[in-house]
Structure 1
Amino acid sequence: MSSTTSHFSLVLETPPASPQEAQRHFLDKLSVETDAADVLLDLQRGQNSILLIDARSTQDFEECHIPGAISLPYRKITAESTIQLAKELPLVIYCWSPGCNAATKAAARLSALGFRVKEMLGGLEYWRREGGPVEGTLGEQAPLIK
């Protein structure tokens, strides 16, 4: 790191939000996101107030997925393909990893159809890093990411 002192801050070029604005932002963010550790703990504690949706391809789901999750590839999400899902139950959507945006796309499509959704940050990769169980034809032998 350089010892040159600068009076200009890249961090503060855009001033920080007020505490109230920051609180609202972070609460808004938490209303649409969760993480693998919280989902795992809820499931271990017997919570049945959420439904897990795997937004990856059917083949990827068959090879490795979270037990109890439903396969709903994001490209196939329509009013018809979701008719069996209860709109009262919040959906937690996941895909491969932080580098995958299938869960984001699925959450956008599902929310447009009237579902309450949260994206599971880190996806299946971080679920497995947290020690979460998986099942499927490859199970634990499946790659962490594709």
Structure 2
Amino acid sequence: MNALDYFNARLEATISPMDYLKLAQVDPDKHFLIDVRNGPNHVRNLTIKDAHVIPQQELHNRLHEIPKDKEIIVYCWDVWCNTAAKVAKFLLERGYKVKELTGGIAAWKEMNFPCSDLSQNVNMSDNCGC
């Protein structure tokens, strides 16, 4: 693979926080954002505003919640985490159109973009699955 092919593939498979925020403001119904992070509640209580929380470990049982008619954007912790890439691959294999949010929740928070605090949500599973 040459450099041009690499960067074209990378741009096709990912979206930056800034680009996602702009697109979501223009057409909020086009995308379905999923927080796929695993881990205990106290470390994942902050999520991107309007994200659907479907941890990777619950994905098989909750696949019916993910619409096929929208572009799916998945994110995890940071650039060192590959959970979102694993979920993206899983969803792509099942016919979804998917991109990974680069930098995960860490990049989003670093840019001071809108977040939601889920610490009051009693329905969050505290089973890490790690």
**Matched pairs, number:** 119
Residue of structure 1 in register with 2:52 after alignment: 70
Q: 2:75 aligns with which of 80, 84, 94?
A: 94
* Deviation of the 1:137 alpha carbon: 3.9
Indicate conservation of the 8 Å contact 2:84/2:100, yes or no.
yes
Indicate conservation of the 8 Å contact 1:54/1:94, yes or no.
yes
Alpha-carbon RMSD across the aligned residues, in angstroms, is 2.3
TM-score norm. by structure 2 comes to 0.78
Change (3 A) 1:89 1:61: farther
TM-score norm. by structure 1 comes to 0.70
* Deviation of the 1:43 alpha carbon: 2.4
Change (3 A) 1:75 1:56: same
Identify which of structures 1 and 2 has the higher relative contact order when contacts are C-alpha pairs closer than 8 Å and 6+ apart: 2
Describe the superposition over 1:86-132 as per-residue Cα deviations: whole angstroms up to 9, x where unpaired. 21211000011112111111111111222111011100110111221
Larger radius of gyration: 1
Q: Could you tell me how far apart the structure 2 residues matched to 1:60 and 1:49 are?
A: 30
* Deviation of the 1:71 alpha carbon: 1.0
Residue of structure 2 in register with 1:3 after alignment: none
Q: Could you tell me how far apart the structure 2 residues matched to 1:39 and 1:61 are?
A: 24
Indicate conservation of the 8 Å contact 1:67/1:133, yes or no.
yes
- Does residue 9 of structure 2 align to residue 24 of structure 1? no
Change (3 A) 1:61 1:51: farther
Residue of structure 1 in register with 2:65 after alignment: 84
- Does residue 23 of structure 2 align to residue 42 of structure 1? yes
- The one-letter code of the counterpart of 1:108 is K
Q: Could you tell me how far apart the structure 2 residues matched to 1:25 and 1:137 are?
A: 37
